[in-house]
Amino acid sequence: MKSIRYFFRGIPDGYIFPTGSIAHWIIMAIILFGIELIIKRREKLRIPKYGDAFKIIMTIVLAMQQITLYLWYGFSGYFSIQESLPLYNCRVAIILTIFAFITNKEFFKNICCYWGIAGAFLALFFPVVDPFKFPHYTIVSFFGGHILMLWSAIYFLVVVKHYINKKSLVSILFFTNIYHVLVYAFDKITNSNYCYLVNPPFSIGFIDRLSQFFYTVTALNVFNVIIFLFYYVCKIVYNHYLEKEEIESLI
């Protein structure tokens, strides 16, 4: 019982996850192994028995991860309106990934793929976790949630063949910029930093010296550039693996 209370403790340790540590590289190796496994087993995952099992497992685990996280925020005493709401891009993407599995809607799959892959890679390469030393639920939640979201996006792209096209690009750009404008307004009202639209998550050289206006404009454009890059990477992959007629119908 004591160990469980410690795992869900609400008093921070001031811990900063060591980027580039052995633990970090082990986590990255697990991520890449999972991606490789999904790609190699894609034909098997297209068999309903295995594909349905994958979707059920991902849906249940991601849902439990999210429910437990917000219950912890609510009961640990660590909750704050500035940090604990599901407004970060990856938190939204994880929730909509769950909806993608349940509803099979294209919009939810787009969010999972566009936001999920880019957001997960950035978060996992440069992790900014809550200040609790392992073992603690927030570290498990952070890495587990991002990893499963990334694997889910790879599943949608490779197994389900959810293709990225111009229509999805326009839709995502529109949704992303409207969402970020609304989140920025919320950030200013509540003195928050959701989506890192007010300040960078950590010190980044010359960016620290930018005015608030230029930093926010830069952050908004970085999101847009990442979305465009993801679209063009998908286009290159399609050009490499698909026939010309099929490409023209997708992009």
Average pLDDT over residues 219-239: 90
pTM over cut 0.85: yes
117 burial (CB, 10 Å; 0-12 / 13-18 / 19+) is buried
Return all residues near 53 (Cβ < 8 A) that are at least 6 apart.
none
- pLDDT top residue among 249 and 152: 152
pLDDT digits (tens, 9 = 90+) for 160-213: 999 899 999 999 999 999 999 999 999 999 999 999 999 887 766 666 677 878
Q: How far apart are CA 132 and CA 17, in angstroms?
A: 9
Q: Span 129-156, mean pLDDT?
A: 95
pLDDT surpasses 70 at 243: no
Provide mean pLDDT across the span 6-27: 92
Tell me how long the chain is.
251
Give the pLDDT confidence score for residue 65 in this predicted structure.
97
Question: What is the residue-averaged pLDDT of the chain?
Answer: 90
Q: Exposed e or buried b for every residue in 9-43, given b needs 16+ CB within 10 A?
A: beeeeeeebeeeeeebeebeeebeeebeebeeebe
Alpha helices in the chain, H assignment, sequence order? 2-7, 22-40, 42-45, 48-76, 89-103, 106-111, 117-125, 137-154, 166-190, 212-241, 244-250
pLDDT category of residue 79 using cuts at 50, 70 and 90: very high
Using alpha carbons, list the distances in angstroms from residue 105 to 39, 98, 147, 168.
22, 11, 22, 12
- Rounded CA-CA distance 68/75 in Å is 10
